[in-house]
Amino acid sequence: MALFNQKDARKQLDNEAGKVHRADLETLLDRQRSIEEKVKGSGKLARFRTDIKLMFSLIRDYWYGNYRSVPWKTIAAVAGALLYVMNPLDVIPDLIFGIGFVDDAGVVALCLKLVESDLHRYAAWKEHQEDMKTAPQSN
């Protein structure tokens, strides 16, 4: 029997996403560095490091109004997953050596699966924005 199956992860993610308010996005952005450090230091979450940075970038661009071509449900799911990672006392407390980040990794993986197409569209938009900044300006 798995300690943390997909059904449990989906339920937990839905619970967390349902609790997300716009003020939570600001809290997440303020705590981004500490969450990224937590991810970097954990074996299970480290493989999601690039995805988590993209998730933070999406929230930041949404928060500042740069990118709004995404449903609120996607923003709430991403924020819910990141809030879950931020919480050290979740289903499997992070302090339990060896398995403490298994549930966090499961929630992030499920979130990525649920918002994959929106995240891909955002990544393409972000890349286009960066290309526009570096493209030579014609007169």
Is a pLDDT exceeding 60 seen at residue 97?
no
Total number of domains constituting the chain:
1
pLDDT of residue 1: 36
Phi-psi region of 114 (alpha: psi -120 to 50; beta: other; left: phi over 0): alpha
Considering 11-15, 86-90, 118-122, 131-135, the range whose residues carry the highest mean pLDDT is 118-122
Q: Are 76 and 55 in contact (CB under 8 A)?
A: no
Please enumerate in sequence order all residues whose Cβ is within 8 A of that of 4, keeping only pairs 6 or more positions apart, or say none. 91, 92, 102, 103, 106
- State the CB neighbour count (10 A cutoff) for residue 36: 16
Does the residue 131 lie in any domain?
no
Does the residue 60 lie in any domain?
yes
Q: Domain span at residue 57? A: 6-124
pTM score of the predicted model:
0.72
Does the residue 135 lie in any domain?
no
CA angle 25, 30, 33 (to 5 degrees): 120
Does the residue 1 lie in any domain?
no
pLDDT tens across 22-79, in order? 888 888 888 888 888 777 766 667 778 889 899 999 999 999 999 999 988 899 999 9
Share of the chain above pLDDT 90, in %: 30
pLDDT of residue 5: 59
pLDDT of residue 61: 95
